[in-house]
Structures are given as structure tokens and as C-alpha cells.
Chain A
Amino acid sequence: MSVEHASTRIIDGYARGGTGLAADEVWALEAHLETCRVCRDRLSAAVDAEVPAVASLVDTVWSGLDPQLAAVAPVPRRRHRSARLSSWLTPTMVPWLAMVVSVTLLALLLDLAGTGSGEVSLVLLFAPVLPVLGVAASWSRGLDPAYELTASVPRAGLHLVLRRTAAVLAVVVPALLVAGWVTGVTAAQWLLPCLAFTSTTLALGGVVGVTRAAVVLGAVWAAVVVAPTLATSRTAFALQTGGLPVWGLILTLGTGVVIARRGAYSVLGAHR
């Protein structure tokens, strides 16, 4: 694209104060100068060459400013790392994720030591509910001091909920994968229940609040799966491969409800 630059006559006239120019020429030149570096350089050269009064005035201003500019402390280098992280996680989430990962490690250690529940892997028992803890923490009133502000912004709502959920899963799922690989539990056995629980927490959370939903589902999990398994020392049906279609159905239903009720996450109610 060829750019038309201002003529030397106009630039020289402008440098002398613009009195010899028509108003529309001045206006067009100023609009052009804002976007054109070449013409700005030509203008400053014209000022230096032709109007010593202005040039000396500019020098005086600079010499007055220099000591002040030298006294201003340089801006400290910005910490981009935390800014990028906080677009994915609540800034107060890190301790919670650490807790979730350490619970995984603890279950793994108990499994390896063999003190757990005999035949049943503790990693398998806890895997589906661990991400739920993280999701609850990312949308909870008690753990996020700025929850009311967060609820009022345009970015609030499903988009932010999914972003934070994805961040929680990105931390928890690899930890569980490693634990599962060490104890010999296949990923298929727990990954689907894990995702189903997460989506159900969000779906229920749109109605009663995410934290309450997480507490309810955690209790249900403990009563329906953990307690019978520990009592009978046999893997509950829910965690055997036969249960997978059911988990798939729950996951689909949960996701559907979350999408249908997407507006519910941008009000204070979801933070209960």
C-alpha cells in the first residue's frame, strides 16, 4: 500500500506555527502525523532547522524534566506468570490443589503398603471425588474472597466455570494417572466416573450452589460406594467395567444440564 506523505511546504509551514496554512490542511496534517513516523521525523528536523525559538524551548523543557525523570524509580519487572495463572485458577486455589494431590499420594502410599482395604485400591475409590473437591474450591464463597466481584463480571458464567474446571482436571487427572499406573488400576475404570462426578457437581451447583453440590455428591459417593466396598472388601459394582455405560449416561446428562442452564453460573447463587 502506498502512503502519501505531507509535502515539505505544509510541514515547514506547520513548524513555523501553521499561520500560513488553511485550517483543513492543518487538520489533515495533524491526523496524518499521529499515524506516520516518517513525517513526525521530518517535522522535528524542520523545527530544528527553521525555528530555533521552538527548538530551544523544547530543550529547556527537557532539561527541566530530566532530573525529575531520573528520580522516578524504574517500574519493577511485572510478574506475568501469576497473571496468566490467575486467568485459569482462582488465585487462592493453589493450596487446595496441593491438598487434592497429596490425598492422591496418601491413597497411593496406603495401597502400596497394603494396609488399605485388601483387594480394593484406595486410589480407585477416591479418584472420582477428588476433582469435585477442586471444582468446589474454585467456585466457593469461603475460599474466594473476591467471589462477589467475580460473579458480577462479564466473563463470569459457564465460560469461567469450565476454564477453572479444566484447570483443576489438568492438575488432578495426571496425578491420578500416575497413581493408577503404579497400583495397576486402569484409567478406564475411574476416568469416566471422575468426569461424570465433575459434570454432575456443576449441574447441581447451578441450582443449589457448587460447594453444597460437592458436599452432597461426596456424601452420596461415600455412602453408596466407599462404605459398602470397605465393609465387604469387594469392588462395588459402580466401579467395575459393567458400570461404565451408566457413568457415560450420567456424564452426558450432567453436561447437558450445565449447557442448558448456563446463565445460572453468573449470579451469586452458584457461589453457595
Chain B
Amino acid sequence: MVPAVSAADIAPTAYAWEIRATGLKVKVGRKRMAVDGLDLSLGTGVHGLLGPNGAGKTTLIRALATVLRPAEGTLELLGESVGGLGEHRAVRRRIGYLPQEFGYYKRFTVREFVEYMAWLKEVPKAEIPAAVQRAVERVGLADRADERMKALSGGMVRRVGIAQAIVNDPTILLLDEPTVGLDPAQRLRFRELLQELGTDTCVVVSTHLVEDVAAACTDVVLFAEGRLVFHGPPDELASVGGPEHVGDSPLERGYSALLLNPGQGKGTW
């Protein structure tokens, strides 16, 4: 008889945090330190990574996706240190990643592309068709699955990006600006999907839209100039702002209150 649950499903987790960074520094190019001494522990839930443009959000997400090596400090993913020069295949199998610039192959159909990504992510061959169908259905593209990618709208391409990220049922899901190009209805649907995924996955969503964070995230990571400014639930961020701060919602006022320090204000943007 085939057991209903595999040994891997009931094995105890050997780590306290899915993502744990201590003193993390990541370089971009030769000199610039885009992430500069970050201490952060993230567990299961939806974590909204907020920050102004150029704060180092994309660099941090790339480091978490293990495509950039940390220059200093330690980074542990699922209890395994990913600092050194290794391939980290076991960890990568459990990560889903949507880059900010989502490149795709125009001649592939949605299904072929997600299948190709599933193959690259070493999903067992027998499970690929079912995993692909499930991922495509979750992002609401089941009726367009056999169309070529070049025939899709920008929002649909973005959803294919989300589908490929979740095709391997990741434990850590990294989404860099996933809501760009989604219309309001799709954005609502996407927030629902995020909340659903956040029940058993560590989801890190980078965004510059404060309302995305308010609606879907269990906590906020506010990031500026490569450093952590704030980490806590959205309510706490909202309570920081007062009526004297810029913004249309309590969260936006809290956001501008925390970013309003002497170092800022170099330019009007």
C-alpha cells in the first residue's frame, strides 16, 4: 500500500526561520553596497518589502534567490547557509522566484513555458503536467494555457510569471514587483492568492505600492539605502505617522514619517 503521507511531509523542520540574514551585505558592481548590514528573520507569512526606488529591494531579493552572492555576513535559507560558492540545488528546489524583469520566450505557449520552468526546477517528471495545470489554474489562466505567450497582454504575462514561480510548490516565494501591469480586479485576485499562499509559505513581495502591503501582508519590511528601517505589522507602521506627515492613508503617513530623516531630502524625488 502506498502511504498517504511521505516521510518528507512529516519530517520536523530543522530551522526557526525560513529566511535569516545577519549583517548581510551585498554588492552591486564594484563599489556600491546595495544591501548594507541587514539583520532580518522572516518566517511563514506574507512579508511586504517596501522602500523608495534604489533602496536595494531588487538586490536583496536577488540575494535571497541565491543568484547574487553576499559580500559579507551570513544568509541562511531553510536552515542552510547560502553564502559560499556552491550550487545550492536542494535549497533552490524549494524557492520560487519572479524577477522584476520577467523575460520569457514569445514562441512558447503558457503551458510549454511553465513546463520548461518546472523541468529547470527539477520537479519530478511524472508530476510536471499536474503541477503545471495547478499553477496555471491558480493564476486564472487555464483557458489561455495553450496560447502563445506573444498573444498575451502585459497583465497575463505577469500572471504566467507568478505561475512559474509557484509551480514547484515553494517554501520560500520571492516576488519582485509582481503587481506591475495588473488591472485593479486582477490585483484584488492576486492579493487573495498571496494570502492563500502565505498560510504555509514564506512569501516576500517587493513593491512600492503601500496599498498592496496594507491589503495582503502580515508584516512590513521597510528598507531604505540598503538598511532596515522598520519591521513589524502594518498597523504598527500606520501608528507611527501623524497628521503632519505626507500621505493619503495612515500607512502612507507612517511610511513617510519613517523615511523622513536628516539623510534624506537630497532631491525632490
Name A267's contact: one of B68, B116, B122, B146 (CB within 8 Å). Answer: B68
- The reply to whether A149 and B164 contact each other, CB–CB distance below 8 Å, is yes
Q: Across the interface, which residues of B come within 8 angstroms of A155, CB to CB?
A: 89, 119-122
Any B CB within 8 A of the CB of A268 = yes
Task: Give A152 to B61 CA distance when docked, in angstroms.
Answer: 11
Residue of A nearest to B62 (CB): A268
Task: Give A150 to B119 CA distance when docked, in angstroms.
Answer: 11
Name A152's contact: one of B4, B84, B92 (CB within 8 Å). Answer: B92
Name B120's contact: one of A32, A145, A156 (CB within 8 Å). Answer: A156
Any A CB within 8 A of the CB of B87 = yes
Task: Give A154 to B182 CA distance when docked, in angstroms.
Answer: 29
Task: Give A31 to B1 CA distance when docked, in angstroms.
Answer: 8
- The reply to whether B89 and A154 contact each other, CB–CB distance below 8 Å, is yes
- The reply to whether A91 and B108 contact each other, CB–CB distance below 8 Å, is yes
Any A CB within 8 A of the CB of B267 = no
Name A83's contact: one of B68, B90, B116 (CB within 8 Å). Answer: B116
Task: Give A155 to B117 CA distance when docked, in angstroms.
Answer: 10
- The reply to whether A87 and B119 contact each other, CB–CB distance below 8 Å, is yes
Q: How many A-B residue pairs have CB under 8 A?
A: 96
Q: Across the interface, which residues of B come within 8 angstroms of A151, CB to CB?
A: 67
Residue of A nearest to B106 (CB): A145
Q: What distance in Å separates the Cβ of A194 from its nearest Cβ neighbour in chain B?
A: 28
Task: Give A261 to B86 CA distance when docked, in angstroms.
Answer: 9
Q: Across the interface, which residues of A come within 8 angstroms of B108, CB to CB?
A: 82, 91
User: From residue 222 to 272 of chain A, which have CB atoms closer than 8 A to chain B?
Assistant: 261-264, 266-268
- The reply to whether A82 and B112 contact each other, CB–CB distance below 8 Å, is yes
Interface centre among B67, B84, B103, B111 (most CB of A within 10 A): B67
Task: Give A156 to B115 CA distance when docked, in angstroms.
Answer: 16
- The reply to whether B104 and A146 contact each other, CB–CB distance below 8 Å, is yes
Task: Give A146 to B107 CA distance when docked, in angstroms.
Answer: 13
- The reply to whether B112 and A83 contact each other, CB–CB distance below 8 Å, is yes
- The reply to whether A268 and B105 contact each other, CB–CB distance below 8 Å, is no
Q: What distance in Å separates the Cβ of A236 from its nearest Cβ neighbour in chain B?
A: 37
Q: Across the interface, which residues of A come within 8 angstroms of B67, CB to CB?
A: 148, 151-152, 266-268
Q: Which of B93-101, B218-226, B234-242 contacts A (4 or more CB under 8 A)?
A: B93-101
Residue of A nearest to B4 (CB): A31
User: From residue 140 to 162 of chain A, which have CB atoms closer than 8 A to chain B?
Assistant: 144-158, 160
Any B CB within 8 A of the CB of A35 = yes
Q: What distance in Å separates the Cβ of B64 from its nearest Cβ neighbour in chain A?
A: 10
- The reply to whether B105 and A92 contact each other, CB–CB distance below 8 Å, is yes
Name A266's contact: one of B87, B95, B102 (CB within 8 Å). Answer: B87
- The reply to whether B65 and A32 contact each other, CB–CB distance below 8 Å, is no
Q: Across the interface, which residues of B come within 8 angstroms of A160, CB to CB?
A: 120
Q: What distance in Å separates the Cβ of B184 from its nearest Cβ neighbour in chain A?
A: 27
Any A CB within 8 A of the CB of B206 = no
Are A263 and B86 also in contact (CB < 8 A) when A92-B105, A148-B101, A152-B67 are? yes
Q: Across the interface, which residues of A come within 8 angstroms of B119, CB to CB?
A: 83, 87, 155
Q: What distance in Å separates the Cβ of B53 from its nearest Cβ neighbour in chain A?
A: 19
Any B CB within 8 A of the CB of A75 = yes
Any B CB within 8 A of the CB of A86 = yes
Any A CB within 8 A of the CB of B66 = yes
Any B CB within 8 A of the CB of A79 = yes
Besides A35-B1, A83-B115, A154-B89, 16 more A-B contacts (Cβ < 8 Å) are A31-B1, A34-B2, A75-B146, A91-B116, A145-B104, A148-B101, A149-B102, A149-B117, A151-B67, A153-B120, A155-B121, A155-B122, A157-B87, A263-B84, A263-B85, A267-B66
Interface positions of B (Cβ within 8 A of A)? 1-2, 4, 62, 65-69, 84-90, 92-93, 95, 97, 99, 101-105, 107-108, 111-112, 115-117, 119-122, 146, 164
